[in-house]
Amino acid sequence: MSQAKVDRYKEEKRNRAKIIKREKREWLLTKIGLMAIAVVMVGWVGMSVYTSINPNETTGTFETYTLDASALDDYISGLSVE
């Protein structure tokens, strides 16, 4: 080995604890960031599915329908008279 390689190895050996701590910290931050992104994506997909299934509940408006059953009432009352 050349002297430069020996010096680099000794320097790395002296700072090995710092290097390992830094690598662990970087890995932890990476995991936290990826988990945060995953949570946001799952929430976004879930909210998109929910709003597509229940579009009126999310906006606060509800549609109402009226049914004109007078023809049915006339028919039924005509059946009971005869």
pLDDT digits (tens, 9 = 90+) for 31-81: 999 999 999 999 999 988 887 787 666 566 666 778 888 888 888 888 865
Tokens standing for 6?
């020996």
Calpha distance 5→12 (Å, rounded): 10
pTM for the model stands at 0.53
Domain regions of the chain by residue span:
3-81
